[in-house]
């Protein structure tokens, strides 16, 4: 059995150039969104906030990704995190995690189109998307830890994308938590 290399794809540098440009565009968007919200505002929302951070990689189940985390307290009992994820080939997602001991207003998330993900593996995005796809009904809300997730549909212009992402995070930061 012969195994041919796709040399035409390998030599087509326009694909890599387009992908790198789009990564740079999303990085710029995430930097602008992150800079919109002061650490003081994040601490007002959640006292143990550790600020914001952008992470990036090339192999989230074989696809490049960028992540913008706000608050960054990943404790499964008492933590909180707001995460924007740009996952190439899959879309843009907003995830909000509240630890088991953190109560919050669930209605605001339901009204904004969020769905509950699996709280036992809050950082496994592929698993969360499978859960969302399998369970499109209204979630049963209880007192356990919550992972809220929704896909964000973006317009084509960076200016409009920036506005949508800022509004999304600003809306979440208005949620009352205890």
Task: Give the pairing type, strands 115-116 and 146-152.
Answer: antiparallel
**Predicted TM-score (pTM) of this structure:** 0.88
- Structural domain boundaries in the chain: 7-173
Write the Ramachandran bin of 30: left for phi over 0, alpha for psi from -120 to 50, otherwise beta: alpha
Mean pLDDT of 161-173: 95
pLDDT for 120 equals: 76
Given a contact cutoff of 8 angstroms between Cβ atoms, the answer to whether 33 and 68 are in contact is yes
Tokens of 3: 């195994």
Confidence of residue 137 (pLDDT cuts 50, 70, 90): low
**Which range has the worst mean pLDDT, 42-46, 60-64, 128-132, 167-171?**
128-132
Mean pLDDT of 160-166: 96
- Between CA 104 and CA 80 the distance in angstroms is 11
pLDDT for 135 equals: 66
pLDDT for 144 equals: 58
Given a contact cutoff of 8 angstroms between Cβ atoms, the answer to whether 84 and 91 are in contact is no
């Amino acid at each position: 059995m012969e195994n041919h290399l796709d040399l035409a794809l390998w030599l087509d540098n326009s694909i890599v150039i387009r992908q790198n440009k789009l990564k740079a565009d999303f990085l710029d968007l995430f930097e602008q969104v992150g800079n919109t919200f002061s650490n003081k505002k994040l601490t007002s929302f959640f006292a143990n906030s550790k600020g914001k951070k952008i992470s990036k990689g090339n192999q989230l189940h074989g696809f490049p990704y960028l992540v913008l985390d706000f608050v960054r307290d990943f404790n499964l009992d008492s933590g909180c995190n707001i995460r924007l994820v740009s996952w190439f080939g899959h879309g843009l997602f907003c995830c909000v995690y509240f630890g088991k001991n953190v109560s919050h207003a669930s209605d605001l998330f339901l009204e904004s189109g969020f769905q509950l993900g699996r709280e036992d593996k809050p950082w496994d995005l592929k698993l969360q998307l499978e859960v969302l796809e399998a369970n499109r009904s209204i979630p049963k809300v209880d007192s356990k830890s919550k992972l809220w997730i929704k896909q964000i549909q973006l317009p084509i212009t960076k200016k409009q994308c920036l506005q949508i992402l800022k509004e999304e995070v600003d809306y979440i930061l208005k949620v009352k938590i205890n």
